[in-house]
Amino acid sequence: MRRLAVPFLLAAVLTGCSSTEPGSPSAGNQNSPAPTTGTSAGTAPVNRPKAVDMKTLDPCSLITPEVKTALGIRLVNPREPLAEYGEGSKTCSNNYEDRTYSSSIYTLVNGGVDRLKRTVGEAKLTSLQIAGYPGYLTQREAVGGGPGCEVYLDANDGQLLLVNAIAGLGGDKATMDGACEKAKALANAVGAVLATK
């Protein structure tokens, strides 16, 4: 009985993969605009406002004068990249007028969402939309024991933009909810700028 079931199952699968619709294969309408979707790790298409190569992006360029004013950012400084984010990654640190939190922006060039789900753990990630980009939020205690919140934007196939906020000099005023509010606000602001790059 098993020997008969396998060929029928295989035939059913192959039938589902074929198409009998008329038409001819083409590269698409040459007059249509370029799609804004891509694939992440060869899976389903990812809908994003614009795919931006993180290897060519200066994350500090996402902090425009308007973003600084709107979010109360005092200082924006490039920092040494973190080797764990891949060859060619970049880092930008930001300090706020209210020093309760500080934040950083990182370009991750050595893996996209699939790698993020493996390294952080899918159960620890909350999906959200950030300025039109698929985003993922995770909470953790920062180095030194303060609250930290990270927001990852699926910015390009196999690449991510990471925005975090951690307890600064605020002491007891710094909370996990506060860190996540700062991280999401900054991620939304820089995500909107990213879409114009």
Q: What is the pLDDT of residues 6-27, one digit of tens each?
A: 333 333 333 344 333 333 333 3
pLDDT value at 85 more than 70:
yes
Which amino acid is residue 161, in one-letter code? L
Please calculate the CA angle 71-139-172 and round it to the nearest 5 degrees.
65
Rounded Cα gap, residues 37 and 154, in angstroms: 11
Least confident range from 42-46, 62-66, 94-98: namely: 42-46
Please calculate the CA angle 120-122-124 and round it to the nearest 5 degrees.
65
Rounded Cα gap, residues 79 and 93, in angstroms: 7
Least confident range from 85-99, 114-128, 131-145, 177-191: namely: 131-145
What is the per-residue pLDDT for 170?
67
Share of the chain above pLDDT 90, in %: 69
Least confident range from 44-48, 72-76, 136-140, 166-170: namely: 166-170
What is the per-residue pLDDT for 146?
83
Rounded Cα gap, residues 124 and 158, in angstroms: 20
What is the per-residue pLDDT for 59?
98
What is the band of 168 on the pLDDT scale with cuts at 50, 70, 90? confident
- For the chain, give the mean pLDDT: 82
What is the per-residue pLDDT for 173?
87
- DSSP H helical ranges for 72-162: 113-116
Closest CA to 165 of 131, 132, 188, 192: 188
Domains, the chain, ranges and CATH? 50-194 (3.40.1000)
- Which H or E run includes 11? helix 2-17
Q: What is the pLDDT of residues 58-72, one digit of tens each?
A: 999 999 999 999 999
Would the pTM count as exceeding 0.85?
no
Mean pLDDT value of segment 129-156: 91
What is the band of 169 on the pLDDT scale with cuts at 50, 70, 90? confident
SS3 37: strand
